[in-house]
Structure 1
Amino acid sequence: MTVIVLIVYIFIINSTVEDKKEVNSCQSEKHKNNKTIKYIFNLAQWRELLNKNGILFKDSRTLWCDVPSELQSMSKAICQIYKMNDCTRLPCRLIYSSNETLRDVKCSSGGRVFTPNNDKSTQNEADFTCKVGFSLDLFIKKSTNYSYPSIIVDAFTELSTDLYINILNKQYRSCNSMWGFLFNFESISNYPWTKDSDKSKLIDVSFGYDRSRHDFIPHPWLFNYVEQIKFTSKRLSIQQVMNSKMPINSIENSDTYWTNKEMNSIVQNKTKNESYVRSPILWMNSNCNTKSQRTPYMKKLMKYIDVDNYGSCGSKIRSVPEHVGKIQGSTNQKSTNHASYDWEAGKLALAKDYLFTIAIENTLDYDYVTEKLWHAFIAGSIPIYLGAPNIEDWLPCQTNCIIDLRKFQTPEAAALYIKKVAMNKTLYESYHQWRNQPVSEKFQNMLNYFEKIGNYNLECILCDMSRQVDQGNDPKDYKKKIMKTIGRF
């Protein structure tokens, strides 16, 4: 009986070891030539090419080739994740590399992007150059000591077991093949495979907005607007914000809002009946079915307070006023031209006239903070926010500057408080006090981090880690050194 138990135990242990090998297998050959050119296969470029050019639609302008037999299992698996049928023939540039498909990335040691300067007294050459491409022939061994390329995984497509484990990891991965991915601007909740703990073991380096999951944090939405938030000289002043607000032309409640009690110098010659603004709140969203349940929440909120709805969701949808239509380029254009509109310019033009702007994210994910928040800030409107659970880490203010919907048990309670702020000029103005102050320490630490991370990129870090393997160093330790150099926030 003891012997049988021992045999079963050994079998389980061996099976566990084999499973771990399958998840993160690595060929044992050694690579000592540090001058060997490093290649990166960027699978994400397949998706980009498909979206941009419709490259797989056969036409006379595209040269097609047969996929070599040794690469057909890979091409078939790739085609499956992109929902393509027959991949025994593909556009030649997806199979064979050329100067047009390969891009040089010049790097400095430590995973940094090489930046040339005019100082002749210092080194002005890259420490090494990587070649990044998307053609399948990067996986064809050119010699006995050829290393398979590192890979940039497409984080926006499912990490299929067949492609990533059974084919790429088991058959086409050398010990110095580093894998990485970049996940930014989209919510993790909409891409659940990025949370797969088993698949994550395949990844050596990850860039993504969620600090609890990723090694490095790429520039967020904030950096499109950072100067208008960081520097007091470039922000709207409190006085500019207060003067920009339009009187509220609401049938029932307009006489209770401070904008109607005290007409400022800009609008004092206008009556409330001339104002296009009918409520204290601006709402403008096009995604109506979000995991944050934004639309159902707004429907409830609108039962207790007026909301001007210029989006595609909910009820009482309004057309943008003529002057905003001109700003966003939508005047006299057909609905089929919506993609050509400058929605951001239109929203900013609207938000500056409103006391509050709805800034409810699509999902309620850690560190997921999008342009919805920053638009309200730079336009001079108080954000009514629901989104990242750690939003305090991202706020520039040392005092209150958002209406945090988490603080209210019901939409009715939130509406009552919003009305209170809208009726009290002093209370409303208090939410803009941050405009006269330096940004918070947390916010500044965050800006410092992003200033440093701007000197690095995924490609240079992957290539440098591969070089470390060639030199007999542990790439994980090397990555930790880079992370320590950059720091965290």
Structure 2
Amino acid sequence: MLDDEFFQLIAKYKFAIAIENAICEDYVTEKLWRPLHVGTIPIVLGSPRIKDLLPSNKSAIVVDDYDSVEDIARYINHLDSYDEEYDQYFNWKTTGITNDYLLQLLATRDWEVDYGPDVKGKDFFEGFECFVCRRVHENIRREKDGKDPLRYQAALNHYGCPAPVKVNDKGQRTLENHIFMESFTKHKYLAKALQYHLDKNLLVDEESIQQTADKIPKTQGSLQHKRQSSV
């Protein structure tokens, strides 16, 4: 993900395609950050709020701003022909980040992306673990004080990612299944199984969760058959 040779490869190009595997509000990956890091313009399709996470209003080409692939291609060719306009996409590297939301996010997070030995903070895995620990201990303190524990529930727009779709040659999203649908469905069932075990106070381990998840498609298929039979 952070390999120097890969960075060098991306840096050879003026543009880099940065299409995420899923279109989710908070799902933004190295596909976007790597081109920004090396000074290449990312052509990004992903989070609906991606503009809130860009360093400036002019630092990436956002696919959703265009009606078709042809429109994007024309704009890329235009930038490729006019260096002054192309260079405007890197003004943020000298003026600094101007996106207020991103500045606030960077200032308040307690983790860093590990780009080398100079980084002394926690990486994002450790940061998330610390976040969970803080929430757990917060509830322990509340219970000691005779208060009800706080329940933390992820909102649908945070983890309720829609099923993956294909993008056709005109840049239009289609409902046709593709390679990620199997993985998407598998993990959706695992999430439902985990929630079921937590709600029922059942054993939570990998094997038991997987066994419950394996039963979900059969249960849903049976319910679907009953609905169709009753119509």
Q: Residues 382-439 of structure 1, C-alpha deviation per residue, up to 9 Å, x if partnerless? A: 0011100001111112x41101111111111111111111111111111111111121
Q: Residues 174-197 of structure 1, C-alpha deviation per residue, up to 9 Å, x if partnerless? A: xxxxxxxxxxxxxxxxxxxxxxxx
For 2:146 and 2:76, locate their aligned partners in 1 and report how far apart those are by CA, in whole Å.
Answer: 62
Within a 5 Å distance, the mapping from 1:352-431 to structure 2 comes to: 352-397=11-56, 399-431=57-89
More strand by share: 1
Aligned to 1:475: 149
For 2:137 and 2:59, locate their aligned partners in 1 and report how far apart those are by CA, in whole Å.
Answer: 43
Question: SS of the counterpart of 1:400?
Answer: coil
| Runs of 4+ residues deviating >3 angstroms | 451-456
Question: SS of the counterpart of 1:431?
Answer: helix
Query: How many residues are aligned here?
Result: 137
Within a 5 Å distance, the mapping from 1:35-434 to structure 2 comes to: 344-397=3-56, 399-434=57-92
Cα distance change, pair 447–349 in 1 and its aligned pair in 2 (3 A):
same
Cα distance change, pair 463–369 in 1 and its aligned pair in 2 (3 A):
same
Structure 2 alignment gaps of length 5 or more: 112-126, 153-231
TM-score (structure 1 length as normaliser): 0.26
Q: Residues 107-139 of structure 1, C-alpha deviation per residue, up to 9 Å, x if partnerless? A: xxxxxxxxxxxxxxxxxxxxxxxxxxxxxxxxx
For 2:2 and 2:129, locate their aligned partners in 1 and report how far apart those are by CA, in whole Å.
Answer: 31
Identity %: 30
Q: CA RMSD in A?
A: 2.7
For 1:362 and 1:462, locate their aligned partners in 2 and report how far apart those are by CA, in whole Å.
Answer: 32
Question: SS of the counterpart of 2:85?
Answer: helix
TM-score (structure 2 length as normaliser): 0.53
Question: SS of the counterpart of 1:385?
Answer: strand
Cα distance change, pair 455–448 in 1 and its aligned pair in 2 (3 A):
farther
Q: What amino acid is the match of 1:475?
A: P
Question: SS of the counterpart of 2:48?
Answer: coil
For 1:445 and 1:465, locate their aligned partners in 2 and report how far apart those are by CA, in whole Å.
Answer: 26
Quote the offset at 1:454 in angstroms: 7.9
Aligned to 1:112: none
Cα distance change, pair 477–355 in 1 and its aligned pair in 2 (3 A):
closer
For 1:351 and 1:437, locate their aligned partners in 2 and report how far apart those are by CA, in whole Å.
Answer: 23
Question: SS of the counterpart of 2:150?
Answer: helix
Quote the offset at 1:449 in angstroms: 2.1
Quote the offset at 1:461 in angstroms: 2.2
Q: What amino acid is the match of 1:449?
A: T
For 1:457 and 1:345, locate their aligned partners in 2 and report how far apart those are by CA, in whole Å.
Answer: 30
Aligned to 2:180: none
Alignment counterpart, residue 462 of structure 1, candidates 125, 129, 136: 136
Flag the structure with larger Rg.
1
For 1:474 and 1:425, locate their aligned partners in 2 and report how far apart those are by CA, in whole Å.
Answer: 61
Quote the offset at 1:469 in angstroms: 1.5
Cα distance change, pair 343–445 in 1 and its aligned pair in 2 (3 A):
closer
Cα distance change, pair 373–477 in 1 and its aligned pair in 2 (3 A):
closer
Q: Residues 192-221 of structure 1, C-alpha deviation per residue, up to 9 Å, x if partnerless? A: xxxxxxxxxxxxxxxxxxxxxxxxxxxxxx
For 1:347 and 1:469, locate their aligned partners in 2 and report how far apart those are by CA, in whole Å.
Answer: 50
Quote the offset at 1:455 in angstroms: 10
For 1:466 and 1:450, locate their aligned partners in 2 and report how far apart those are by CA, in whole Å.
Answer: 23
Q: Residues 350-403 of structure 1, C-alpha deviation per residue, up to 9 Å, x if partnerless? A: 111110011110111102110111100111100011100001111112x41101
Question: SS of the counterpart of 1:451?
Answer: coil
Quote the offset at 1:457 in angstroms: 2.5
For 1:464 and 1:378, locate their aligned partners in 2 and report how far apart those are by CA, in whole Å.
Answer: 37
Cα distance change, pair 459–383 in 1 and its aligned pair in 2 (3 A):
same
Cα distance change, pair 475–358 in 1 and its aligned pair in 2 (3 A):
same
Q: Residues 18-67 of structure 1, C-alpha deviation per residue, up to 9 Å, x if partnerless? A: xxxxxxxxxxxxxxxxxxxxxxxxxxxxxxxxxxxxxxxxxxxxxxxxxx
Question: SS of the counterpart of 2:24?
Answer: coil
For 2:18 and 2:151, locate their aligned partners in 1 and report how far apart those are by CA, in whole Å.
Answer: 40
Quote the offset at 1:343 in angstroms: 7.3
For 2:42 and 2:131, locate their aligned partners in 1 and report how far apart those are by CA, in whole Å.
Answer: 32
For 1:461 and 1:449, locate their aligned partners in 2 and report how far apart those are by CA, in whole Å.
Answer: 16
Question: SS of the counterpart of 2:109?
Answer: helix
Alignment counterpart, residue 435 of structure 1, candidates 68, 88, 93: 93
Quote the offset at 1:458 in angstroms: 0.9
Question: Bigger relative contact order, structure 1 or 2, given CA contacts below 8 A and separation 6+?
Answer: 1
For 2:31 and 2:14, locate their aligned partners in 1 and report how far apart those are by CA, in whole Å.
Answer: 15
For 2:77 and 2:110, locate their aligned partners in 1 and report how far apart those are by CA, in whole Å.
Answer: 40
Q: What amino acid is the match of 1:450?
A: R
Q: What amino acid is the match of 2:138?
A: D
